[in-house]
Amino acid sequence: VAGALVRIGDQIVLEDYDTYVPSQKEIWKYAQEIGIDPETEPELLWLAKEGLMAPLPAGWRVCQNTQNDDIYYFNFNNGESSWEHPYDDHYKNLVIQERHKRLAQGSLKKKEKKKKKEKKEKK
């Protein structure tokens, strides 16, 4: 994810890279974490990639425990730590919104097809 910046005891604060591009494996894993089934919803994978590439909010840093290599997030402004990325809930909500949008678009397409079919039958 990133390179080492500072070591504090058995914790490492990782440096953020603006050029970080996640691997397909990382995208699929994160997709599952935010509620996307990569096999049945490949059209939503862009949300997972965007989420992985999103910069952390102010004060937040990616950290790693050197004893077990666990990654977590720490806010140096208020001392809060989290196993989940600070934007996970935001991206989970975006997944839900995108599904609703696609369902609505699908319903409109079905209605349009039905109208076209009815017009053909009238002729």
Task: Tell me the pLDDT tens digit for each residue of 76-123.
Answer: 999 999 999 999 999 999 999 999 998 888 866 666 666 666 666 665
Banded pLDDT at 59 (limits 50, 70, 90): very high
Closest to 47 measured CA to CA, from 63, 61, 33, 62: 33
CA distances from 81 to 25, 63, 71, 84 (A): 25, 10, 11, 9
Residue 62 lies in domain: 3-122
CA dist., res. 23 & res. 27, Å (int): 6
Domain count, the chain: 1
* Partners of 8 in the β-ladder: 11
* Partners of 74 in the β-ladder: 61, 81
